[in-house]
Amino acid sequence: MSSSKPHHDDAADDDFEADMLAEDDAQEVLEEGDAEGDVAMDSDGEEGGEEIELQNDSIAYFDSHKDSVFAIAQHPLYPNLVATGGSEGDADDAPGKGYVIDVSAAASRPVLPPSYNSDASAAAKENAGLKPIFEIDGHTDSINSLAFTLPRGDYLVSGGMDGRLRVYAVGVSSSSGQAQLKFVAESRETEEVNWLAPCPSPEYPNTVALGASDGSVWVFTIDAADASSPIQIVQSYFLHTGPCTAGAWSPDGLLLATVSEDSSLHVFDVWGAAAAKSLVTDNGQTVVSLTDADQRFAVEGGLYSVAVAPSGFYLAVGGAGGAIRIVGLPRLSQASQAAPSSQQQRGARRGGASTAEPSAQAGAILASLNVQQDSIESLAFSPAPQTLLAAGSVDSSIAVFDTARSFAVRRHIRGAHDGESVVKVDFVRSATQPPGAAGWLLTSCGLDGVVRRWDLRGATASQHVTGAAATGLLAEWRGHRGGGEGGGVLGFVQGDSGERVITAGDDALVLVFEA
């Protein structure tokens, strides 16, 4: 059984402080405790014990899991269709177990006027218990990764600590909206699956990549109509020498970036588009390969997160000691070969790379950032036209960088999750409330058991505002047990609009929160 704790690092990279962005350059640095409105759990000590009142802001719950919920995924066309995965128990050899649930059964909670009595208010706050519409079986160890394939969610893929990749066909009735799932096949090419990432390219539908504990990377295409070989291996790579910890596709689905505990980054030319333009490295497989042999790139303690910018011009990797590296990518697709905007040009100048040629900045280290103090567990770019990069750290902080201004720190929210690790950050992509907030709203979760949403349009530090206005804290949702071991939120999904946030809890609960 793997630990649900995020990665911790042993040391920061101190060799190139001149390249690091100093905290003095930040537009806004926020100290722990600045946020107002945090709702603490009330405790009332009594003789012989302690009575604790828990706050639950959810509108629905799912409690069929018997142990930690490690993975969660959401259907790309039907956001009410959510898959969750975990373990059947706390034994080392406990089988994996997953479920598919329909969260549309969670009714929106009415807004009651103050004149309503307390009984009516209490009734309105009752949340619904959700039932599974499908059970994911067949794993002999924990399910720790799930993904619906793109672009239409034709298949649900589960990956486990037993090394199995299991595939289920997904059908949704156009008349009733009811989902039906059917097991297709399984593949086992490695001992333990660490992550899954569906390819976003419509030219290569139903393709998924995985990273493994032995450092290998695999790309599969799924076609249930091919009875003899429904799961086909497209590529396999063996360049990492340590566990492969994270992976991300470029927006056009042509490149796959992966990182490892050995501090290496490899960007694979999966479909041969770079080779056709003579843009691959000497190994013939990648367009970028960086390891700790390059002291400018080296991150002592390993890399644990990666994200590719919406433009496809560069990516960010995060690792131990709060280290973040920004690395240039070649432009392969017609969209990415278009002339970069002035903002993108300014963002690239820090590395001194030219944007005139497709290969000019491939592999160039455009920026080295080190604002946070511990491992970077999650990275997310805002959707265009915004130019933000958010990083969540084990040190409980969230740092937000402006990619159009040489990756200057726009905001550093210390203690964003009450001293516990930040597990995931993700931007809301199509928000209409508040008006004009698309690309400015960031959702985060942590081992404190709380989900928070931040509005990053707020005032800068020069205006000397404090409290929730300074942090940009817009909302928070409680209901999970926090406090680290045996508690916390290990992941969430929120669709494009962010209207509902569905969480995976270390306390074996899945909760539905309404924004």
pLDDT digits (tens, 9 = 90+) for 331-370: 887 654 444 444 444 444 443 333 344 455 899 999 999 9
Whether 88 contacts 97, CB under 8 Å? yes
**Residue % of the chain over a pLDDT of 70:** 78
**75-91 burial code (b ≥16 CB/10 A, e <16):** bbebbbbbbbbbbbeee
Per residue, what are the HEC states of 28-90?
CEECCCCCCCCCCCEEEEECCEEEEECCCCCCEEECCCCCCEEEEEECCCCCCEEEEEEECCC
Instruction: Provide the 10 A C-beta neighbour count for residue 451.
Output: 28
Instruction: Provide the 10 A C-beta neighbour count for residue 237.
Output: 21
Which has more confidence, 66 or 126?
Answer: 66
Supply the pTM of this predicted model. 0.84
Strands 408-413 and 193-198, bridge-based pairing = unpaired
Block residue for tokens 């131990």: 320
What's the pLDDT tens digit per position in 116-146?
344 444 444 567 899 999 999 999 999 999 9
SS3 call for 515: coil
| CA pair distance 105, 329, nearest whole angstrom | 44
Lowest mean pLDDT among 17-26, 396-405, 489-498: 17-26
| CA pair distance 281, 275, nearest whole angstrom | 9
Block residue for tokens 């392969």: 332
Residue 314 is predicted with a pLDDT of: 97
Residue 125 is predicted with a pLDDT of: 56
State the DSSP code for 99: E
- Token pair of 77 as six digits: 């066309």
| CA pair distance 290, 311, nearest whole angstrom | 21
| CA pair distance 134, 103, nearest whole angstrom | 13
Query: What integer is the mean pLDDT of 305-312?
Result: 97
What's the pLDDT tens digit per position in 400-457?
999 999 999 999 999 999 999 999 999 999 977 788 888 999 999 999 999 999 999 9
Over the Cα atoms of the chain, what is R_g?
22
